[in-house]
Amino acid sequence: MIDPKNFIKTSEEYGDGIAVEIYKNEFGVCAATEGKDGNIYPRWMYPQGKEREPVKKAIPWKITLGVKQQAIQRLEQLLMMVEQSK
């Protein structure tokens, strides 16, 4: 489960959103959803293997941003891109 204070709901209808995850001192942003029980759960995916076939083991659907300072810099870059887009 994901700490609710690290979750931003982007869809009231489906409970979908994004969450900040910290794993081994590395920050990431992952797709998440709010369950009917009120808990926040990461979305899972099956990445492609060498033959472009889905692998058997699911992993969280996330983007790793790096350690805290790297994560801040990358999120600032992303914010700048959004602000500069037409």
pLDDT value at residue 69: 97
The two tokens of residue 8 are 């931003």
Indicate the average pLDDT of the chain: 94
Q: In this predicted model, what pLDDT tens digit does every residue of 20-43 receive, in sequence order? A: 999 999 999 999 999 999 999 999
Say which amino acid occupies 77. Q
Q: Please classify residue 39 by burial: count the beta carbons closer than 10 Å to its beta carbon, then call 0-12 exposed, 13-18 middle and 19+ buried.
A: exposed
Span 33-60, average pLDDT: 93
Alpha carbon distance 41, 64 (integer Å):
17
pLDDT value at residue 31: 97
pLDDT value at residue 86: 83
Q: In this predicted model, what pLDDT tens digit does every residue of 2-18 receive, in sequence order? A: 999 999 999 999 999 99
Which residues in the chain belong to E strands, given as ranges?
7-9, 16-23, 26-34, 40-42, 44-45, 59-60, 62-66
